[in-house]
A and B are shown apart, each in its own frame.
Chain A
Amino acid sequence: MKDSSIWIEKHRPKKFEDIIGQENIVKRIKAFVDSKNIPHLLLAGPPGVGKSTLALVIAKELFGEYWMGNFVELNASSERGINVIREDVKNFARTKSIGNVPFKIILLDEADSLTRDAQQALRRTMERYSNTCRFILSANYSSKILDPIQSRCTIFRFKPLEKESINKIVDRICKEEKLKVDDNAREALIYVSSGDARRLENFMQSCSMISNKITEDLVYEIVSAARPKEVKEILELAVDGKFANAKEKLLDVMLKHGLSGMDIVKQIQAEIWNLKIPDGRKIELIDKCGEIEFRMVEGSDEFLQLESLIVNFMKNDKT
């Protein structure tokens, strides 16, 4: 098959030996695969640390040339709902596996985004097809997975990639893509990717579109297209009493990036602590922020609710 032009695909490890980081997990899973049998797996951890990659490697190593017929990936967060997923699982699971391994593998991505009810349904589905199928669930938080499902799975907890691992990935990509990265740029890449290999590779490919010599400035130029700063600016405008400007910018940011009111309120909540205002005020604002998040759930107009939050950031006569 032709190599993908998208780096996160092109440079995705294909064998256990290629996987960088997560050494302990890889070792244990390789032992399962060598015995030609695996239990249901729950792979928990932050994005971009190799959960899906590991699932793919398991399938390739187990099934060899037949891996595509014996492996399917379903995304639990897609809007299709649990019923569709159940249907898909059923159709996939009821035909026999190809080759000499007696089961197939279903990768259920973002299993923690399933509701309780959906997870209950999933649990029954897992039971019904456990003879012919192994499930690999991936999740950011294992605590959001129901206990009865957890107890049926062997759980592996992934950590954000360490600096050393990120360095190795940078080296590998530089070599294969003929890029030059100086030390400062390397530090910058490590900083902005915060242990997420997918982000790292996306950043590197974006940089490479501009130059094959990656510099610190270039990295930050690419990253500055990304957001958090803008929410901070909105809050600072409000603190300075420029409500009309804050309001205008709020709408711009939401529309430009396609953000929901909920996305923004989360960022505001995180950003309050970084503002130059007395700590006592910060805690008042946090309380207000929580109240507005609650009203957003109950109310109808997210933008109006955000405005009524932001107006609180202005210095008022009470204080």
Chain B
Amino acid sequence: MIKHNPEKLNEIVGQDTKKILLWLESPRKKALLIHGPTGTGKTSAVYALADDKNLELLELNSSDLRNKEKIKNIIGIASQQQSLFGKNKLILIDEVDGISGRYDYGGLAELNKVIDKTKYPIILTANDVSDSKFTTLRKKCELVEFVHVDYLKIFELLKTICERDKVKFDEKKLKNIARKNNGDVRASLLDLRASIVDGKVSEEGDDREYVREINEALKLVFKSKDVNVLLNAFSNVDEDLDEILLWLDENLDKEYSGNDLLKAYEMLSRADVFRGRIIKRQHHRFLVYQSALMSAGVGLSKSEKREGYFPYRRSTRILKMWIAKNRNSKRKSIAEKLARKTYFSTRKAYKEFDNYVKFLKDEKVASELELDDDEIKYVEDF
């Protein structure tokens, strides 16, 4: 398994880390704030620093609640006490820009106090601290900026890792991975890991492999009635449930008919309701239900399985919808122009488009509405 955990600060790729060392070694009054885009090594640098200098690392990250009480009780106290192991301590507060005004009430103010009083070095990380709510914090910190990493540097890193782990590779593929991740080292490493099959770097996000996996998964759902098999059907598919939902929808009516189809669609419909709730309320536990309804729910809806197997098809619906949306944006802009000229509501003008599209072909009308060439073409093709 590909791993890259820098153990020394100078193994961090593409960033100026000298400032961090200087800060640590100087008689300091300020905390250190490392800011910059995702995946450029901010947190890794702190880990490496702790490793390098043999410091005990105490970390509070965004998955913890970080309100006033929490910061006072955990960081406030730790920043005063001697370490248990007699080591020196380093305190890391990750993603400070994720401290929420609502749930972490009073957290930032408390943090400012802790920085004033601490006996141990404190490092903060953030993507973006330009917001005015960080003004006080910025004054109390020395700032170090991490930047997008040049893709050739990422490529060199990927190459080193492949050589170290004896993974066969083709330079072009590694460069592709590095390039498409826009300077994000972490994402590049994840992509590299995902693309290694049988000891070599395969096609980018190997589509054939993925289609094979998803076909296997769908086969399990459509053919099995064993609830344990069904519940695990998607565990080998390296893709999110949204994509699987589309595959199920596309192929369901080729496998099931009559009452089975009715029941299975009921399951998908309910699964989608949970999906909607996940999106709208950010309550990710609902995934459990979405997944169970999609696998066991659909699987157990059949009274008998259809014999035979054929390759399942990928849904083209999303693509078609995207194309249509682009097309319909013309219709919308035309409706807006007509509405403005005629005291007509845009919404109604959009809906009743069919009623007047014919006379938009009249040159005089088109020029009065100032339709552009694309819009005229849309009207003519309608």
- Genuine A/B complex: yes
A residues touching B (Cβ–Cβ < 8 Å)? 4-9, 47, 52-53, 56, 73, 75, 77-78, 109-110, 113, 198-199, 202-203, 205-206, 208-210, 222, 225-227, 243-244, 247, 251, 254-258, 263, 292, 295, 298-301, 303-305, 307-308, 311-312, 314, 316-318
Q: Would B259 and A205 count as touching, CB distance under 8 A? A: no
CB pair B344 A8 closer than 8 Å: yes
Stretch of B3-11, B112-120, B177-185, B269-277 lying at the A interface? B269-277
- Of the candidates A4, A52, A292, the one whose C-beta lies within 8 Å of that of B368 is A4
User: Across the interface, do B368 and A5 meet the contact criterion of CB distance under 8 Å?
Assistant: yes
Main secondary structure of the interface of B (DSSP, over half): helix
Q: Of A6, A75, A298, A300, which one neighbours B338 at CB under 8 angstroms? A: A6
Q: Is the CB of B368 within 8 A of A6?
A: yes
Q: Which 10 A-B pairs have the closest CB atoms?
A: A255-B324, A308-B269, A258-B328, A299-B276, A206-B358, A308-B265, A300-B276, A5-B364, A52-B343, A205-B359
Shortest beta-carbon distance from A146 to chain B in Å: 20
Tell whether A317 pairs with B269 under 8 Å between CB atoms, given A202-B356, A251-B320: no
Q: A304 touching B276 by the CB < 8 A rule?
A: no
Report the separation of the CA atoms of residues A206 and B360 in the bound assembly, to the nearest whole angstrom.
8
Contact A304-B321, Cβ < 8 Å, known A258-B331, A298-B277, A316-B259: no
A110 to B339, CA, bound (A): 13
A203 contacts across to B, CB distance below 8 A? 355
Interface status of B306 (Cβ within 8 A of chain A): no
**A contacts with B: majority SS:** helix
Q: Is the CB of B355 within 8 A of A202?
A: yes
CA distance A293 to B348 in the complex (A): 22
Interfacial residues of chain B within 267-288, with CB under 8 A of chain A in the complex: 268-270, 272-273, 275-277, 279-280
A304 interface neighbour in B245, B346, B352, B358, Cβ under 8 Å: B245
Per the bound structure, the CA–CA distance linking A258 and B364 in Å amounts to 26
Q: Which of A52, A206, A318 gathers most chain B CB within 10 Å?
A: A206
B355–A304 contact, CB under 8 A? no
B266 interface residue per 8 A CB criterion: yes
Question: With A298-B277, A299-B272 given, is the CB distance from A318 to B259 under 8 Å?
Answer: yes
Q: How far is the CA of A6 from the CA of B342 in the complex (A)?
A: 8
What residues of A have a CB within 8 angstroms of the CB of B357 in the complex? 206, 225
Chain A residues in 8 Å Cβ range of B74: none
